[in-house]
Chains A and B, each alone.
Chain A
């Protein structure tokens, strides 16, 4: 994420972000301290996906790793069982692609052809000096007067190749151009993305006359559709939509469904578990019939036997009887075992 976004976040949001990123916080920390702490962490860990807001003439203050990404495609030609394929870092084409994340965010990834990179690097005396940018068009809005769709620019860091773009208006069509600011200061596009449409975040205002319903009834229906918690306004609807699935991540692999009962609580708690089992074993003639506490036990081919039992507190009387194969002899051995568990005081 862009560290500048931290400034716009509430303290609560910052805290939950810190938790997500496993950043230690103290309850006494102010909002500003949280922002600073998170900014450092983000810069350290997320430089690969970093874009900075273009401010003319300002130095690249958030670019601690100016190294150029190695663009050599490296698909290792080896048998699969011997290890993982390394994916190519680039497909050697100049392109930009847009995807929709939700009503307010779209995602762009891009790639440069190495030839083009070289050419630009020559013009600007180094690839890292090329003032790259994304131009984001809101196709659903026309600029006043001059015509053409509204747009805004995002400067692009050289070490990243993707970015989440915040778009204010849901239900709009967007397109981006990947380009750079030429020496004359004008934006030159190198590649144009696909068009995407963000979804609406509210009920449609379009009403079909053939399918009219009384406004009040529709509001009732709307509330019912989401359970009792929904209010009348679409804002509340969206909020409850966003919150409602916190524990029901939807679906997916069997390992990943959160258990409806919830995972065991993870508070700090020192613990000790003790249990005992008893092994009763012995041997007799292989063709003998054996019982333990009156229940028949199958002998191994060599006449030996083993029983393993959980041993609760109390005394167990265990008669073991063997009868010879011809039924003429029988022997009984009885053993008593007792367990007495005493739990000491917790200190």
Chain B
């Protein structure tokens, strides 16, 4: 019998970036890179584990913006062109590196990886990555949970209608894609605002996560610390992040990804190779960018990087997986000795860390899951939902306002660089509620305009924009997206209230900001609040 549980949670998210109005758009590459380097490698590992009969339970949050991009034909087709271009580059690299054996082997590794990605994406799953995730869910390996519809940061929303709409559209879209309602939610940026659990409960969600101090500072004092969930007064369970296991993977100094044998992220042939040669594979305006082909290992704190040796890196991934498991076993043995129940250690990570930044991350996960299954009996992988089945009785306590951002509260999203957005975000959310109440049953063009207005509010709310403004790279893009969506909303608002909807403008927005095609603007009405809960009650 196991002594405790490990709940691995991967949070997969990208903001909705899709620009049909441009042939090539730099920021769209984030999606293509993540597909090649993170989502497909992770799916490959997870499918292989399932195929090999390894039983595992993993929680993964797929945000509605990411799911929308997975499902979008324009981005699907653009990804195919993107990966084919990469295959072409890798082919050239095979020739170019003919007299450099170490690099030649690496060129082949990338050639194989890209060809696999193309096969997986086009031939195996017909361009839609929702399918393999859903399959792993239906087969009982994954618990796929939801997030805010556009990853809006809840603690800085003024109107609860805004939070409700984020959760409403998220659960609705999720249910449509996965054939069942989500059991839990990953709050965007782990941002918990006391009382939001009431809204969460209204949508039948049973659990969410907070950072460690969200639980540790809960009141009354939580008996098990972060090693068991607490029930909010609303009855929704809150699980706290374990910082020790987070640090082992995340930390720049002590974390695994900085190992000298692992692949160096910052040496990309997009920057290293002769300009005319690489020109067709970088930005059309001539700007050097990452291609994804990287030949060096971290090596050490030096500029003289050594070539990457995959066999050594794989060995390290295995060692690190063993180390992680050993530490969790010790942690859980100790906890079990002082607690009167089997503890759960919750380890959430950004999915994009795996494969994209930490190239060996998917292999590490593969080894970890195998080792846990075959090599020991102390810990068992679990999902929060399963833990609540084993321990349905939990302490009632209200978590504290918290996030997993720098310093643990709201500062990342509320500081000098980005605080100007909130007066506008609050204004448009309030106006959206006004509109929804004023037009309880619109139809035709008016209905379309109202639905589009709601989409603009949602897209403006993505926490990514404020985050990018703070971190200082690609700021212009984040500012433009914020202003565009707010501006589009304000214009729609004027047109709707002035009874002069410009259909051409509306058509244009419907093409560009096409997220959640089946959304119903009426969700924003205040009097809808009780309704959703009633519907859930009836459904149960």
Contact = CB atoms under 8 A, between A and B. Distances in A.
Given A248-B251, A251-B404, A256-B467, A226 B258 contact: no
Interface in A216-233: 217-218, 220-222, 224-228
B226 A308 contact: no
A271 B406 contact: no
A247 interface: yes
In the complex, which range does the number of interface residues on chain B fall in?
Answer: 35 or more
Contacts of B258: 260-262
B400 A199 contact: yes
A206 B266 contact: no
A202 interface: yes
Interface in B187-220: 189-190, 194, 212-213, 216-220
Interface string B379-407: 00000000000000001110011111111
A173 to B, nearest CB: 12
Contacts of B262: 261
A211 B253 CA distance: 38
A97 interface: yes
A87 interface: yes
In terms of DSSP, what is the predominant structure of the interface of chain A?
loop
Interface stretch (B309-317, B484-492, B529-537): B484-492
Interface stretch (A99-107, A124-132, A178-186): A99-107
Interface stretch (A31-39, A64-72, A137-145, A309-317): A309-317
B408 A256 contact: no
Contacts of A254: 14, 30, 33-34, 352, 356
A225 B243 contact: yes
Contacts of A271: 303
A111 interface: yes
Interface stretch (A8-16, A78-86, A328-336): A78-86
A264 interface: yes
Given A207-B221, A310-B96, A253 B487 contact: no
Given A49-B416, A200-B400, A85 B95 contact: no
Contact of A249 (B158, B256, B405): B405
Contact of A227 (B247, B406, B473): B247
B486 A204 contact: no
Contacts of B420: 162
Given A204-B220, A225-B225, A241 B490 contact: no
13 contacts: A87-B424, A208-B397, A221-B224, A224-B225, A226-B244, A245-B405, A254-B34, A254-B356, A255-B30, A260-B257, A260-B357, A310-B103, A311-B99
Interface of A: 46, 49, 75, 77, 79-81, 84-88, 91, 97, 99-103, 105, 107, 109, 111, 161-162, 194, 197-208, 210-213, 217-218, 220-222, 224-228, 237, 241-242, 244-265, 269, 271, 275, 277, 293, 295, 307-312, 316
Interface of B: 11, 13-15, 21, 27, 30, 33-34, 92, 95-100, 103, 155-156, 158, 189-190, 194, 212-213, 216-227, 240, 242-244, 246-247, 250-253, 255-258, 262, 264-266, 274, 277, 298, 301, 303, 331, 334-335, 338-339, 350, 352-353, 356-358, 395-397, 400-412, 414-416, 419-420, 422-424, 426-427, 463-464, 467-468, 471, 473-474, 480, 483-484, 486-488, 490-491, 494, 505, 508-509, 512
